[in-house]
């Protein structure tokens, strides 16, 4: 396996001691981008938040400060990631504010309408079926709830040339920002927004679950 494939395999699902080191490094490396992405959202009044692909738990720690009344849930399918996330959020877990589960975005272990906000930071690139997984997130969002996908741009943006090699790898599921917005609409979201920090190569794409189910509203009475 070449070094790039090894790195992407670890980024997708960290394993072993190398994976644990990678997760700790990502907590540091992604800190500023995470802060910027979360600043694009209205989270203070949220009560139930979900971080999908929570990695080392850095975003959960920041969300605990931005939404002091919220119950915070994080999922990841890497035990190594969850181990680091548990250490990062040890006090919050002891207080019952942060709950972690080993799970996959394709089959979320939560009831319908459980959350008012779901975020995925640098994780959606590795989902098996982006549109279907976004539909699964719709299920666990409350009507009017928000999903936010954030990360580094792989097409367009300041680092386009550098990142296209990564984006072309079969292990990555990369889309342009307009394509990503279209995928959100296809999955059932409305009021989509694109936020971009071009000089840093960051983005945050936001969609909302309709308050009224479109199919239900069209049925004859």
Phi/psi class of residue 163: alpha, beta or left (left: φ > 0; alpha: ψ in -120 to 50)? alpha
CA proximity to 46, closest of 143, 113, 188, 146: 146
For the cut 80, the answer to whether the pLDDT of residue 108 exceeds it is yes
The more confidently predicted of residues 155 and 152 is 152
End-to-end CA distance of the chain: 59
Res. 155: pLDDT tops 60? no
Give the Cβ contact number of residue 92 at 10 Å.
Answer: 18
Q: How far is CA 120 from CA 19, 60, 205, 207, in A?
A: 19, 11, 10, 12
45: part of which helix (H) or strand (E)?
A: none
What global pTM score does this model have?
Answer: 0.82
**Nearest alpha-carbon partner for 43 in 125, 148, 168, 140:** 148
Q: Is the pLDDT of residue 216 over 50?
A: no
Please state which of the ranges 131-135, 166-170, 188-192 shows the lowest mean pLDDT.
166-170
Q: What is the dihedral of CA 15, 73, 197, 26, to 10 degrees?
A: -20
What confidence tier does 16 reach under pLDDT thresholds 50, 70, 90?
Answer: low
Residue 20 has pLDDT above 70, yes or no: no
Provide the pLDDT confidence category of residue 217 given band limits of 50, 70 and 90: very low
How many CB atoms neighbour CB 61 within 10 A?
19
The residue extents of the domains of the chain are 3-218
- pLDDT category of residue 182 using cuts at 50, 70 and 90: very high
Give the residue carrying structure tokens 């239900």: 216
Is 164 a residue whose pLDDT tops 60?
no
**DSSP reduced 3-state for 33:** helix
Q: What is the CATH number of domain 3-218?
A: 3.40.50.150
DSSP-based three-state secondary structure for 87:
helix
Rounded CA gap, 136 and 145, in Å? 13
């Amino acid at each position: 396996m070449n070094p790039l494939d090894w790195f992407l395999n670890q980024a997708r699902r960290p394993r072993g001691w190398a994976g644990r080191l990678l997760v700790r490094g990502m907590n540091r490396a992604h800190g500023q981008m995470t802060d910027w992405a979360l600043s694009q959202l209205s989270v203070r009044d949220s009560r139930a938040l979900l971080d999908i692909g929570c990695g080392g738990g850095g975003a959960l720690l920041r969300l605990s400060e931005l939404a002091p009344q919220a119950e915070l849930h994080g999922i990841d399918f890497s035990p190594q990631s969850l181990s680091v996330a548990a250490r990062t959020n040890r006090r919050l877990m002891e207080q019952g504010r942060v709950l972690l589960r080993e799970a996959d975005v394709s089959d979320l272990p939560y009831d319908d309408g459980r959350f008012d906000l779901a975020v995925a930071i640098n994780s959606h690139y590795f989902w098996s079926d982006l549109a279907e997984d976004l539909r699964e997130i719709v299920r666990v969002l409350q009507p009017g709830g928000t999903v936010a996908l954030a990360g580094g741009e792989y097409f367009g943006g300041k680092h386009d040339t550098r990142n296209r090699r990564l984006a072309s790898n079969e292990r990555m599921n990369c889309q342009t920002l307009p394509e990503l917005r279209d995928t959100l609409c296809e999955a059932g979201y409305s009021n989509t927004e694109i936020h971009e920090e071009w000089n840093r190569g960051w983005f945050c794409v936001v969609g909302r679950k309709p308050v009224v189910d479109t199919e239900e509203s069209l049925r004859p009475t």
